Structure 1
């Protein structure tokens, strides 16, 4: 494979960052100036995790860290979401060199579906550098992975002539139709139950599958996937708890989360929703949940107390978290989760702009009141009006406060670890976490008015 140079990385990032919508709010000027180079760095760092020496073709390491912690594995979820970033770059006209890496991903996916696993299922969460499945104790199955992989490969199918794609995609989606309502482990690998995040990415995977199957004339597949989606949507609606979306229902084991608040709900909206208003970033229940999650972290971490005005709230996974990156003590903010807020805000702005307006409801009023003190239930902001412009500018500036927090706490060279310490702000946990880099790119693309598909 050709090496991935900074020049190529720059060409990828610039495709996404400078095709923005002219009327889209620019946000903070400092962050806008920082964004292009940071996107270059994050893309370059992501590629160091793909095909490291002496690994199976298409292996993507969650991190190159091999001890304290050892993340030198390819997680189905992390790989799907990271490779999706590259598919979006390819679709945006980036250098075609990355197609070779995506072909490698297809090969690794095909292998992952066929090797022996402990769970004897497609929900096996992670694989060794040689492509074999991890056989030690772990939270399995994790049934979000096949759905995410299917969505990524369906997106890639529009730019590829690889004939293996259809077989891989249908195998993943057929699996989803059989296990969609089974209890399984969440994306943090700590809780066995039924999870909002998992249902959302399953719904997207199957709806993507409906479109893909219809395009390919496989009407029976399309019909079967669509039928399951209706049941999944009913499940998803049951997660609403009067003022927030709870993270898990029917928990069988694992970490206790009395608050029910978890940043994965917002990540689910960013990566698992479609442009149909169903728990999308700009929808009322998702916005209400964002308010609750931010409030839960505002006074939890010392770095959120008496912080500079230009910084946003540092966001962790969930308030009860005790994982510190190597063991258990106290949880910390994560770059993925802080980026998720910025991306959610910018995706919401794009959603309302495309729709032409947004109406405040009883549910979303607490969110809009943060940015317009006069916002009441029933208030409608029409795109192009001064009220709409003021609102989205305020929200864009708030999004950039989250990005300022990431900028402030990242390594000086622009790399992003897994976590940053709740007291000192210094990075800890796995270094150069690939998913952190991917979340940085998608947040900055959303900021440019071009959120990833």
Structure 2
């Protein structure tokens, strides 16, 4: 895009975020309308039209997200790497965007899609310590180190090659957009911060930082250049691209300081990108794209707002939980790209947010925008990332795994004053299905936006249990949640802790 030098700032970043909040609110309203559409649409349909609707998921949004979450996680794993049941021909750590090979041809690995998906997987791992997920994350990091070194139509390692949007799943070059490197940096930084907290700073320094540094250098050099938007339809400046670039620079500078490195270009360019972000404000709405002959009113802005907010789907979903790119509004039939990996990742993010399991802050509160900005892009260090050896293991080991796991049960359930949520089940620690011996959950974390009840119970590690929640009202009336019984295999790990997030009642 044309350099925007000496341009007065249109508003403070806080005002931009305020309007971003309204956009997020609009997105939530749109989501609710989408949820309701299958139920209200028949009332407005022509009496002469009798479509056969495909069998779809049922229940409330809360119960649906809870049941869809494990389906979404498995959907991602099916499309991932050499062991993915649907990722035929993909290398370790390579994520297939969709199984669709024609109309549209999505059987490729996109830098953007992969980064967004792995950010959700990293968040899932940090919250739930999902078994086997850390190995997948490490394989992804190694695969990205290899991809960075490829020469392609956009250039090479240090000559703009990171702008190439997609590659074949066997890691050969496919032949751009400019958001991929920033998103990849954010995903890798999230895992790097975890490793640092576990005392594995050396792993971050030797394996992750060289990859992240290359991505940050691409951002600092090309942030003021045009590229294709989020949908790869409009070649112009993009609010989404500028937003993810700003976040990556803030996170990159923070990571560098924690490992004894520096990123001076992160610090010098972040304020310039922040100023650019403000220029997308028209006075009444955020301009998603500056070109393409369109209005600029696009979901691009909503997704950017969510991404910048450290985080804050639906009844067209078939009964098997498979998520496609689109659905026919006439009857709910999946259309376009099937098993779209990004859709599964979005579901995991939404479910975690609804359960109030939010990722760590990325530093939005530190944003300070100058009144005007001058200067331009900056070239940074660039070198092949060659260390991808993940042994010995990067996580802490224990000499003996605890035989008892303290499981924290979180149940998201709106209740009335005087109500208490209880849990009971098939083991003595849960009362052996006796409501009189059930465990009461605490409402200490309960809010109107996240009505979470919680309780921690020590259970035999590795044991299989069944359980259920019920509500006991102030007058003693007991209301059980719907069938079937819930089941759980209690985690075994060094920490002796686990979290179970539920929602269905």
Q: Shorter chain as normaliser: what TM range?
A: 0.5 to 0.7
Pairing partner for 2:135 from 100, 107, 115: 100
Deviation at 1:54, TM superposition (A): 2.7
Aligned to 2:105: 70
| CA contact 1:81–1:152 (8 Å) conserved in 2 | yes
- 1:451 to 2:368 alignment: no
Cα gap change, 1:230/1:248 in structure 2, threshold over 3 Å: closer, same or farther?
A: same
Q: Identify the match of residue 114 of structure 1 among 136, 143, 149.
A: 149
Are 2:184 and 1:149 equivalent residues in the alignment? yes
Counterpart of 1:190? 233
Structure 1 or 2: more strand by fraction: 2
Matched, 1:175 2:218: yes
CA-atom RMSD in angstroms = 1.9
Q: 2:301 aligns with which of 218, 242, 265?
A: 265
CA distance in 2, matches of 1:421, 1:270: 26
When Rg is computed on C-alpha atoms for both structures, the one with the higher figure is: 2
Aligned to 1:407: 314
Does the CA-based 8 Å contact 2:90-2:96 persist in structure 1?
Answer: no
1:270 and 1:112 mapped to 2: Cα distance?
28
Distance 2:287 2:314 in 1: 29
Query: What is the aligned partner in structure 1 of residue 284 from structure 2?
Result: 243
Separation in 2 of the partners of 1:150 and 1:177? 13
Other-structure match for 2:341 = 434
**1:369-408 superposed matches below 5 A:** 406-408=313-315
Unaligned 5+ segments in structure 1 are: 1-26, 276-343, 348-405
Q: CA deviation at 1:158?
A: 2.4
Kindly indicate whether residue 61 of structure 2 is the aligned counterpart of residue 31 of structure 1. Answer: yes
* 1:201 counterpart residue number: 244
List per-residue Cα deviations over 1:340-362 (Å, max 9, x = no partner).
Answer: xxxx7xx2xxxxxxxxxxxxxxx
| Per-residue deviation, 1:239 | 0.6
Report the CA distance shift for 1:268/1:184 in structure 2 as closer, same or farther (over 3 A). same
The reply to whether residue 125 of structure 1 matches residue 162 of structure 2 is no
Instruction: Pick the aligned partner of 1:225 from 266, 277, 280.
Output: 266
TM-score, normalised via structure 1 length:
0.60
After TM superposition, give the deviation of residue 133 of structure 1 in Å: 1.8
Q: Secondary structure at the match of 1:129?
A: coil
Are the aligned partners of 1:442 and 1:452 in contact in 2 as well (CA < 8 Å)? no
Q: CA deviation at 1:274?
A: 4.8
- Cα distance in 2, alignment partners of residues 75 and 86 from structure 1: 16
Matched-pair contact (CA < 8 Å) for 1:124–1:133: no
Alignment: residue pair count: 286
Cα distance in 2 between the residues matched to 1:420 and 1:242? 34
Instruction: State the SS of the aligned residue for 2:347.
Output: helix
Q: Which residue of structure 1 aligns with residue 488 of structure 2?
A: none
Show CA shifts across 1:131-156 (max 9, x none).
01211xxxx2x110000000100111
Q: CA deviation at 1:96?
A: 4.0
State the Cα distance separating 1:412 from its structure 2 match: 1.8
* Deviation for aligned residue 1:433: 0.3
Give 1:12-91 correspondences, 5 Å limit: 30-51=60-81, 52-91=87-126
